[in-house]
Amino acid sequence: MFKRILIANRGEIAVRILKTCRRMGIETCVVHSTADKETLAVKLADVAICIGPGPAKGSYLNINNIIAAAELADVDAIHPGFGFLSENSHFAQVVRDCQIEFIGPLSESMEALGNKAKAKTLANKAGVPCVPGSTGPVSGQDEAIKIAREIGYPVLIKATAGGGGRGMRVAHNDASLVSGLIQAQREAEAAFGNADCIIEAFVQRARHIEIQIIGDKHGNVVSLGERDCSTQRRHQKLVEESPSPVITPEIRKNMGADAVKLAKAAGYYNAGTVEFIYDLERKKYFFLEMNTRIQVEHPVTEMVNDLDLIALMIKVAAGEPLPFKQEDIKPKGHAIEVRINAEDWQNNFSPAPGKISMYVAPSGKGIRVDSHCYAGYTIPPHYDSMIAKLIVHGTDRADALRLLEQALSEYYLEGVKTTIGFHQRLIRDPRFVNNEVTTKWVDDVFMKQ
């Protein structure tokens, strides 16, 4: 097993990884920017090394400086967390070339699955159902119109390199397709340096459901069940839960099997998430994309399966075989995660960084809070606005919602605006309670009422 791991990330996930390392008896080296000197992970780390200035480009995205820190601290492995360099196959390769283990999949698997068009091709080959549409980037307007007419409007235009809702457009006819394609390409070029877009059937009433998988270096891949992340605002997940309250056991089983199939097709190991869109009308699911890293919402899966995904990632990276088989995975109860962000949710969710003057997180049976914040901590303006992830685990969904309502009411935080009030209102909405939510509901209905 590794002796010392470098955590190439910040915020709550850095603390999350650090705690598991400590539990496993592994030393930690936390790298950080000058803006993050006061973050909790830096305070808790065995070694903390400043790698650059506040803006991520010079620090958390600075491969040279991270590798330099890794050699200085003499670490065995690097955990990339999520975001930043976590899905950068070049970084993974550089790390491995330095004889340091990258805690994640092979660079080749990341490349095969990280690009949406490539991933879709692979999924099609592996027999995993995909949304009907172009199998690769469209060459231009004419091809786009031809494909759109074949699969029927409305269609979705998506940047192949995109993510988080950027470079996405819905078109309802030829005219909006042409203008949407131009806009999406322009946006994708600006955001990702790659203008390629694909076109596919647009699912009107969709749930976002994803499968957590984990694989070892011995060819074993296991599905750890699904997370339903349909409550989104502008394609940003707000609430995640498991199990999904809208799918049947059969669909759940097929989704899991398909996710494993896709991962095996890519020679995938370590943790990954296969995202599906579930069409509420057709009651069918389609492969969306794969995230080749740990995700923000992984605690939901940990709670229902009573396991530590970060520990599993570390173990399989060290070459250990998975300690369970597919038939051992039997999720229990219902878990829900909400993201507490420093945002003014009543003012278009605008980021509200600043100093947290008072901070008491809820606690108790079935309540879990993953956070790097504390009273006196100043949320720097350079990064995302996440304060904490609040996760509850109840016997069933109603029980989990009760716990969540209590936990939110016990969250005592002063100094910055947060999304706590949003979640309190959301979870009392009968449509949320009764699972009538689609991925568009927050934008189209909830925020407009």
Partner 1 sequence: MDIKVLKEITKIMKDNDLIEVEVEAKDLKIKLRKAAACAPVPALVQAVAAAAAPVAAPALAAAPAAPTKNADEANWKQITSPIPGTVYLKPNPDAANFVAEGTAVDAAKVVCLIEAMKVFNEIKPDAGITGQIKRICVKDGQAVEYGTVLFLVG
Residue nearer to partner 1 on the CB measure, 42 or 188? 42
Q: Is residue 23 involved in binding a second copy (CB under 8 A)? A: yes
Nearer to partner 1, 31 or 312 (CB): 31
Stretch touching a second copy by CB under 8 A, among 89-97, 154-162, 334-342, 356-364? 356-364
In the chain, the N- to C-terminal Cα span, in Å, equals 54
Q: How far is CA 386 from CA 228, 426, 447, in A?
A: 20, 18, 20
Number of residues located near a second copy, criterion CB under 8 A? 26
Spatial neighbors of 119 by CB under 8 A, at least 6 apart, are: 112, 113, 287, 289, 290
Which residue among 28, 39, 59, 242 contacts partner 1 (CB under 8 A)? 59
User: Per rule CB under 8 A, is residue 43 in the interface with a second copy?
Assistant: yes
List residues bridging with 340 in a β-sheet. Answer: 388
> What's phi and psi for 70, nearest 5 deg?
-60, -40
Residue type, 147: I
Which residue, 40 or 42, is less far from partner 1 as judged by CB?
Answer: 42
Task: Closer to a second copy by CB, 151 or 375: give it.
Answer: 375
Binding partner 1 (rule: CB under 8 A), the pick from 14, 17, 41, 51 is 51
- Report d(CA 194, CA 361) in Å as an integer: 42
Residues in 92-111 that interact with a second copy by CB under 8 A: none
Q: How far apart are CA 177 and CA 179, in angstroms?
A: 6
3-state SS assignment for residue 79: strand
* Residues of this chain, 302-331, that bind a second copy according to CB under 8 A: 306, 308
User: Cα–Cα distance between 222 and 325 in angstroms, integer?
Assistant: 7
Residue 360 within binding range of a second copy, rule CB under 8 A: yes
Is the CB of 21 or the CB of 85 nearer to a second copy? 21
Spatial separation of the C-alpha atoms in residues 239 and 298, rounded to whole Å: 12
Taking CB under 8 A as the criterion, the residue among 346, 358, 428, 444 binding a second copy is 358
Tell me: does residue 65 bind partner 1 (CB under 8 A).
Answer: yes
Please say which residue, 34 or 121, places its beta carbon nearer to partner 1.
34
323 binds, among partner 1, a second copy, none (CB under 5 to 8 A by kind): none
Sign for the CA dihedral angle at 390, 167, 288, 284 comes to: positive
- Based on the shown chain and the rule CB under 8 A, indicate whether residue 40 belongs to the binding site for a second copy: yes
Q: Which of 330, 365, 434, 448 binds a second copy (CB under 8 A)?
A: 365
In the complex, the smallest distance separating the C-beta of residue 323 from a second copy, rounded to whole angstroms, is: 15
For the four alpha carbons of 152, 252, 391 and 29, in that order, the dihedral sign comes to negative
59 binds, among partner 1, a second copy, none (CB under 5 to 8 A by kind): partner 1
Burial of 328 (0-12, 13-18, 19+ CB in 10 A): exposed
* Cα–Cα distance, 387 to 122 (Å, whole number): 37
Active site residues: 293
Interface stretch with partner 1, choices 10-18, 46-54, 102-110, 293-301 (CB under 8 A): 46-54
**Which residues, in sequence order, are CB contacts of 209 under 8 Å at separation 6+?**
226, 227, 228, 229, 230, 244, 247, 255, 275, 276, 277, 278, 285
Piece of the chain touching a second copy by CB under 8 A; list 89-97, 122-130, 189-197, 355-363: 355-363
Contact partner at residue 171 from a second copy, partner 1, none, CB < 5 to 8 Å by partner kind? none
**Binding positions for a second copy, 402-421, rule CB under 8 A:** 402, 406, 409-410, 412
Using CB under 8 A, pick the residue from 1, 43, 64, 125 that binds partner 1: 64
- Helix/strand/coil (H, E, C) string of 267-309? CCCEEEEEEEEEECCCCEEEEEEEECCCCCCHHHHHHHHCCCH
Taking CA atoms, 7 is separated from 34, 60, 295, 389, 409, in Å, by 16, 10, 15, 19, 33
**According to CB under 8 A, which one of 19, 24, 46, 50 is a site residue for partner 1?**
50
Q: Which stretch binds partner 1 (CB under 8 A): 61-69, 102-110, 233-241, 303-311?
A: 61-69
Question: How many other CB atoms are found less than 10 A from the CB of residue 261?
Answer: 16
CA gap 225, 261 in Å, rounded: 14
Q: To 5 degrees, how large is the angle CA 30–CA 33–CA 35?
A: 120
| Residue 49: contacted member of partner 1, a second copy, none (CB under 5 to 8 Å, by partner type) | partner 1
Q: Which of 7, 15, 18, 69 binds partner 1 (CB under 8 A)?
A: 69
Applying CB under 8 A, among 14, 17, 30, 67 the residue interacting with partner 1 is 67
C-alpha 437/C-alpha 449 separation (Å) is 15
Q: Does 135 bind a second copy (CB under 8 A)?
A: no
Binding site for partner 1 (CB under 8 A): 31, 34, 49-53, 59, 64-65, 67-69, 71-72, 98
Rule CB under 8 A: which residues touch a second copy? Answer: 19, 22-23, 40, 43-44, 306, 308, 357-361, 363-365, 368-369, 374-376, 402, 406, 409-410, 412
